[in-house]
Amino acid sequence: MSQTYEHEEVVVRRGRRSGLPIIAAVHSRALGPAVGGCRMRRYDSWRDGLTDALRLSEAMTYKAAVAGLDFGGGKSVIAVDRDTDLTAALREAALEDLGELIAPWQGSYRTGPDIGTGPQDMLVLKRFTPYAYCAPEEHGGTGDSGGPTASGVLAALRAAGRHVFGDASCAGRTVVVSGFGSVGGRVAAGLAAEGARVLVSDVEESRREAALAAGFGWVEPDEALSVPADILVPAAVGGVLSEESVPRLAAPLVVGPANNQLTEDSVADTLARHGVVWVPDYVAGAGGIVYTLSRESDHDSHEAARKRVDGIGDTVSHVLELARSTGATPLRAARQLAESRLAAAAAPSPGA
């Protein structure tokens, strides 16, 4: 099924240093400068990277709007083909190409780490623009945003648990965390500390030993959706919830930070028909951007920024209550909240 995108600005360029496709997409600046991380990933075609940038930048617009941030949505992608040897030199050249592309925007698009990039990579981008967030702390940034992202997911889980089970505590519940990476590992640890029975899954078989050593159960990736559980936490790549996979779900609640979990928006209706409550990923996964912008843009203290991350629980409660009261899906309810902010920002001021 084709999808229509409405973006303010999209640039696709072959990097003059790296020769790799460099993509930057700005979906909206209605609420303020566009923000969204830099993804460096292997694709079958650069067009797949473009699709990723378009979908992710749109989701960032809604993520920022629902979270109450005065920022819009953007995303950048460095598309690496399957056969390219991504050496350290090529990696740095590609990042320099991206820095050269976004520098003329003078902060109207601001980036940070995403899949395939990290705090050290932001130092390369900072050669071209000061608007590269999450650089290492010793260089004035906030470093890895995985911790705040995981904290936001845990706040979302508690709020959603109260909505679905009548109790915010995860103690005694069985939770499957699909994706045992930086964020998923932290979410798993936080859930275990609350008394949950945690099963983890990852396509990287090498992570199995670490998971078992940490006291978690292990689930093979192709069984993660169908294992009987109270909660499923998608914490890896997107596209896990489709018309085909939803009937296999064995958990009544799905809350996680993986981007673009639905293969298409209509899957939200399928989830509802199967009695599954799904918290939109851009709501549950907003902790990283909330914390980073609070610290690096608003210059809040660590404590104040963490308090704003905890507020994601209130946002989730609002979304789920709105969905319940209106008969809408949580996706539609979240979109309604975001679109009301975007519409207000676009409306002419009185007397204009």
Q: Looking at the annotation, which residues are catalytic?
A: 75
Residue 111 DSSP code: B
C-alpha to C-alpha distance for 300 and 293, rounded to whole angstroms: 9
Sign for the pseudo-dihedral over CA of 318, 324, 325, 330: positive
Q: How far apart are the C-alpha atoms of 241 and 260, rounded to whole Å?
A: 9
Residues 23, 211: Cα–Cα separation, whole Å: 35
Measured over the CA atoms of residue 146, residue 152, residue 158 and residue 164, the dihedral's sign is: negative
Terminal alpha carbon distance of the chain = 41
On whether the CB atoms of residues 118 and 41 are closer than 8 A, the answer is: no
Amino acid type, 122? M
Other CB atoms within a 10 A radius of the CB of residue 115 amount to 17
Q: How many residues does the chain have?
A: 352
How far is CA 230 from each of CA 21, 103, 160, 171, 176, rounded to the nearest angstrom?
Answer: 42, 46, 12, 11, 8
Coil, helix or strand for 200? strand
Phi, psi (deg, nearest 5) at residue 54: -65, -45
| Cα separation values, 125 from 64, 268, 282, Å | 23, 37, 25
Q: What share of the chain is helix, strand, coil (3-state, %, to 5)?
A: 45, 15, 40
Token pair recorded at residue 134: 């999450």
Beta partners for 39?
Answer: 77
Residue closest to 345 by CA, chosen among 37, 68, 9, 110: 68
Instruction: Tell me the C-alpha distance between 53 and 55, whole Å.
Output: 6
Instruction: Tell me the C-alpha to C-alpha distance, in Å, between residue 58 and each of 36, 104, 316.
Output: 10, 22, 20
